């Protein structure tokens, strides 16, 4: 396998990314802390913000207290009382005017994919190139055209219809593109949600896509094979 810096550089250049690919490792309570790596000093608004900060080049080792969105830390398995926090999330989304009824909000949040509650001690969120081994999840903050190419690359060899389940915009970064790839072993896209966009600061054109680390080598190889169609689109856009 190519080293992760080469893969990151290739994908960033070929796709024209504004944010570098980000690796995520969810560290369980029974696992040893990362030797010699200090925790990030300071607090962030959310896990979604951490993904964009890492996409700009910063390495973040975070405890739950440093990720301001408690709904996100519940989904990522930090909280012992995840169910109570999810209940709080139901009212949060309903009172923000995102759902017409509490029942609709509850249906969305409680059916989202979550990591086992209380098993997570910290999260390493960092540029892909900084990892010595393939991380659990690789996340891209990308515009719709860049996401299109990533999806083409994922489906390059197998074809067929892609299942890209959504949490209704309620839990985009934590559930859709982190917990889902870890637990289901498949890539997924999120169009993010109100809170995700407010806290991450992404513009209206950007989405996020996450895939299990085990798919990274395949993604890289297929993106590199797709030079012909990518150039076709560039030429068409230049003529327009």
User: pLDDT grade, residue 102 (50/70/90)?
Assistant: confident
Q: State how far the Cα of 212 lies from the Cα of 234, in Å rounded to an integer.
A: 29
Q: Give pLDDT, residue 34.
A: 73
The mean per-residue pLDDT over the stretch 112-135 comes to 94
Is the pLDDT higher at 95 or at 204? 204
| Statement: residue 1 has pLDDT above 70 | no
Residue whose C-alpha is closest to residue 184's, from 163, 208, 209, 153: 163
Q: To 5 degrees, how large is the angle CA 13–CA 17–CA 22?
A: 100
100: pLDDT strictly greater than 70: yes
Q: Which two tokens stand for residue 158?
A: 């197998």
The percentage of the chain sitting over the pLDDT mark of 90, rounded to a whole number, equals 66
Lowest mean pLDDT among 12-21, 80-89, 112-121, 168-177: 80-89
pLDDT at residue 200, rounded to an integer: 86
How much of the chain, in percent, has pLDDT values that exceed 70? 93
Give me the pLDDT at residue 50, please. Answer: 96
Q: For all residues of the chain together, what is the average pLDDT?
A: 90
Domain locations in the chain?
A: 4-239
Residue 152's pLDDT is: 98
DSSP string, the chain: ---HHHHHHHHHHHHT-SS--EEEEEEETTSPPPTTPPPPSS-BS-HHHHHHHHHTT--EEE-GGGB--HHHHHHTT--TTHHHHHHHHHHHHHHTTSSSSHHHHHHHHHTS--PPTT-EEEEEEEEGGG-SS--SEEEEEEEHHHHHHHHHHHTTTT-S-------TTSSIIIIIIIIHHHHH-S-EEE---HHHHHHH---TTEEEEEEEGGGHHHHHHHHHHTHHHHHHHHHHHHH-
The predicted model gives 116-123 an average pLDDT of 92
- Determine the average pLDDT of the residues in 55-59: 97
Q: What are the tens digits of pLDDT across the range 215-228?
A: 999 999 999 999 99
pTM of the model: 0.92
């Amino acid at each position: 396998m190519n080293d992760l810096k080469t893969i990151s550089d290739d994908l960033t250049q070929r796709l024209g990314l504004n944010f570098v690919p980000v690796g995520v490792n969810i560290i369980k309570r029974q696992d040893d802390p990362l030797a010699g790596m200090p925790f990030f000093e300071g607090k962030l608004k959310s896990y979604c913000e951490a993904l964009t900060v890492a996409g700009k080049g910063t390495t973040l080792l975070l405890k739950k207290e440093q990720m301001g969105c408690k709904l996100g830390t519940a989904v990522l398995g930090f909280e012992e009382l995840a169910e109570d926090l999810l209940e709080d999330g139901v009212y949060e989304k309903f009172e923000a005017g995102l759902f017409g009824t509490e029942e609709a909000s509850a249906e969305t949040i409680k059916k989202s994919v979550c990591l086992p509650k209380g098993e997570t001690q910290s999260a390493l969120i960092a540029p892909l190139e900084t990892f010595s081994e393939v991380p659990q999840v690789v996340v891209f903050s990308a515009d719709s055209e860049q996401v299109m190419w990533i999806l083409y690359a994922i489906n390059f060899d197998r074809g067929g219809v892609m299942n890209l389940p959504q949490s209704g915009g309620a839990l985009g970064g934590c559930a859709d593109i982190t917990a889902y790839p870890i637990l289901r072993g498949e890539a997924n896209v999120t169009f993010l949600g109100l809170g995700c966009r407010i806290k991450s600061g992404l513009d209206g054109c950007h989405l996020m896509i996450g895939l299990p680390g085990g798919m990274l080598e395949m993604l890289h190889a297929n993106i590199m094979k797709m030079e012909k169609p990518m150039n076709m689109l560039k030429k068409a856009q230049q003529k327009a």
